[in-house]
Each structure stands twice: as C-alpha cells, then as structure tokens.
Amino acid sequence: MYKFSKSISLILILILFQFGFSQEEKIITKMDRFVSNTGSIIKLENYYMPELKGYSTVAKVQVRKATSADDVGFFLQIIKEDKYGNKSASIAEEDLIEVIKAYDELVIQSNSEDTNADYFENKFTTEDGFQIGYGGGKDRLWFLILEKFGKSTVLFQGHESIGTALKDGLKKIESLKL
C-alpha cells in the first residue's frame, strides 16, 4: 500500500510539474501595463517610420504615443507581420535609450569579435524580452527578437538599418515632446 501511494504521489507531482512548464508564460510589457488602466480613457497615436528591411522579411516601425489622463508614454514599436498573428516589440522610451547604448557597444564588439566557435551569440535583452544582437558562425548575422515566444526573430545582413531605425525612433519621440 505504501509503495502504491508513493508511486501515485510521484506521478501526480510529475504531471503537475510538466503541466506547469508546458504553459507559456505571458510577459506583461511596459506597454501592456500602460494601456491596461481600466476605468480611464486612453488615447493611442501612431507615427509611421520607414520600414526595417531584414534578411528575408520587412518589419514595420512606428512610434506610439499613449496618453491616459495626465500620463504620457512613448514607445518604439517594431512589428513583424505573420499569417498567424503579428509579432511585435513595444520598446518604452527609457528602454530605447538603453537599447541604443547596447547597440552602439555591440557594434564595437562585433568589429573586434574573435571567436573560433561553431556558433555564438552576443546580445542585449530588455526587461520586456526584446533582444538585439549578432551571432552565427563564420557568417555573422544581426538579429532582433521581438517577443520571448513564437517566431519573432528578424535577421539582418548588417547592423546599419537597425541603428538607423532605433535612433530615428528616439528622435521622433523627442520631437513629439516639444
């Protein structure tokens, strides 16, 4: 009897453990938190920027201004259209500044990268799960990972268009504040 109940307990623990890790964890982004103010009116304004041309896909870029009462937030959004639902990153203004700093440092590091690894990645990740970096093997590619889950990676042959999109987005945000 003891072995039987012990086996059942072990099986139940394994099932619960498996079930817990099989569920995708939904990350609540800064954008989600900002616009989830129930009971208040929220105004969203999009300002379209030039598209970001990747290796095999084109991402839409826009600056979003979100206003709720006296609170105003700015986000750079990068959107990869997909037939099963768009994948997007909404980078809050304060994070965008950090992403640009990381991008500039990654460019410096990529120019002096010295590795014999068959595969490597060098990247920066925001609190919301957005990633920017480069890697590969002998042929290096730059990448943006827009969301933590799903097919949200955009690949690039070089880094210049990424830097332009990020920096132009920050300039647009600064101009909207005037």
Q: Look at residue 63 and tell me whether its pLDDT is greater than 50.
A: yes
Domain boundaries, the chain: 30-176
Taking only the tens place, the pLDDT of each residue in 102-136 is 999 999 999 988 888 899 999 999 998 999 999 99
Which is higher by pLDDT, 13 or 167? 167
The model's pLDDT over 150-168, given as tens digits with 9 standing for 90+, comes to: 788 999 999 999 999 999 9
Q: Is the pLDDT of residue 1 over 80?
A: no
Contact 106, 134 (CB under 8 A): yes
The percent of the chain in helix, strand and coil, each rounded to the nearest 5, is 35, 35, 30
Phi, psi at 170, each rounded to 5°:
-65, -40
Burial 70-104 (b: 16+ CB within 10 A, else e): eeebbbbbbbbeeeeeebbbbbbbebbeebbebbe
CB atoms within 10 A of CB 174: 11
DSSP per residue, 29-62: -HHHHHHT-TTS-EEEEEEEEEEEE-SS-EEEEE
pLDDT above 80 for 26: no
CATH 1.10.3230 fits 30-176, yes or no: no
Residue 151 is predicted with a pLDDT of: 81
**Which are the contacts of 112, defined by CB distance < 8 A and separation ≥ 6?**
none
CA atoms within 13 A on the CB side of 138: 0
